[in-house]
Amino acid sequence: MADERILLTGASGFIAKHVALQLLEAGYRVRGTVRTAEKGEQLRRTLAVHGADVTRLEIALADLMRDDGWDAAATGCDRVCHMASPLPMRQPRERLALVPAAKGGAVRVVEAAARAGAARLVMTSSVAAMSYGHGRKHTAPIGEADWSNTEAKDISPYAISKTEAESAAWAAANRAGLQMVAINPVLVVGPLLDDLSGASMQLIGMMMRGKMPAVPDVSLGFVDVRDVAAAHVAAMTAEDAVSRRFLLSAGSLSLMDLGRAIGEATPEYRRKLPRFVLPNALVRLAALVLVDARSVVAELGRGKTLVTEPARAVLGFAPKNPEAAIAAAARSLRERNLVD
């Protein structure tokens, strides 16, 4: 294992940097794809600061929307971790706006991995590919057999893109005879490795900046980025992981409870945190004109049971509780002066 090379796509992303760090610490060589040389150099500096042996890190330039570069990036790689996918700060108005990059990019990576003779591909998908678009009547636990309904009117463009991308990746991997594993986390939070926070930490940052004095009656699942990274590393070689989809969640909190967890970790921000819950009727009214509010409506007052036992049994997933993950995220944003 120590001499195996892992192709890590989208290596400059929030989660991917933690995966790169853990892969290097485990003795792998890593070839990380980024869209610009500047992002590659920033990645190298970040990992070096955190003690990684960056002599075992290579940088390759590739773009999800272009064929160029993927064969060169995959050549000589024993395994592939596909993490690159568009994650906008705001939802686009067009339902399918994110699909070309997410779906097309996934197929490009899978096919390049197969041509390179990689032993396995681990793909970062999302709970968004499993649990959305089924309406309030769907109350059964969500697990690896579940897929989001991309035809639903209330599903977000992001959830559509993750569902389409993962489905296309499975089809391409099956055609090519490539071993594949999918990792499907809930909202990933935790400590930053540099000052680039990304969209997954946006919710916590907005609360700490006082941008959300009121919140809808919605609950979300949370998981620590370090636990997500460890699951990716384990999925590279776990014997029973092939052809499985692993949902990762440490637990769910309401948005009000999220604010309270932030306040416990960073008391100086308590006055900026949410103070009351918006009436459901007002949220439904806002959804008539605001794209970001439309996907919230179906989740109002609704909890979901997420099945994480397979990840615990096969990948050794043993997550920190959601409050600890949120505390680490809030302290990291504060320490890096990203919320003042």
The Cα 181–Cα 183 span in angstroms is: 7
| Phi, psi dihedral angles at 313 (to 5 degrees) | -75, -40
The Cα 78–Cα 29 span in angstroms is: 10
Would you tell me how many other CB atoms lie within 10 Å of the CB of residue 271? 9
Indicate the angle between helix axes 255-265 and 322-335, nearest 10 degrees: 60
Active site positions, annotated: 162
The Cα 43–Cα 157 span in angstroms is: 29
Indicate the angle between helix axes 14-25 and 225-235, nearest 10 degrees: 50
Count H helices and E strands in the chain, helices first. 12, 12
Q: Are 127 and 144 in contact (CB under 8 A)?
A: no
In the chain, the DSSP E strands lie at: 5-9, 29-34, 57-61, 79-82, 120-124, 179-185, 187-189, 214-215, 219-224, 245-248, 251-254, 276-277
Judged on CB neighbours under 10 Å (0-12, 13-18, 19+), 72 is middle
What string of DSSP letters covers 277-324? EPPHHHHHHHTTT-HHHHHHHTTTT----B--HHHHHHH---PPPHHH
Closest CA to 339 of 187, 199, 206, 215: 206
- List, in order, residues 6 or more apart from 201 with CB less than 8 Å away: 14, 189, 192, 329, 333
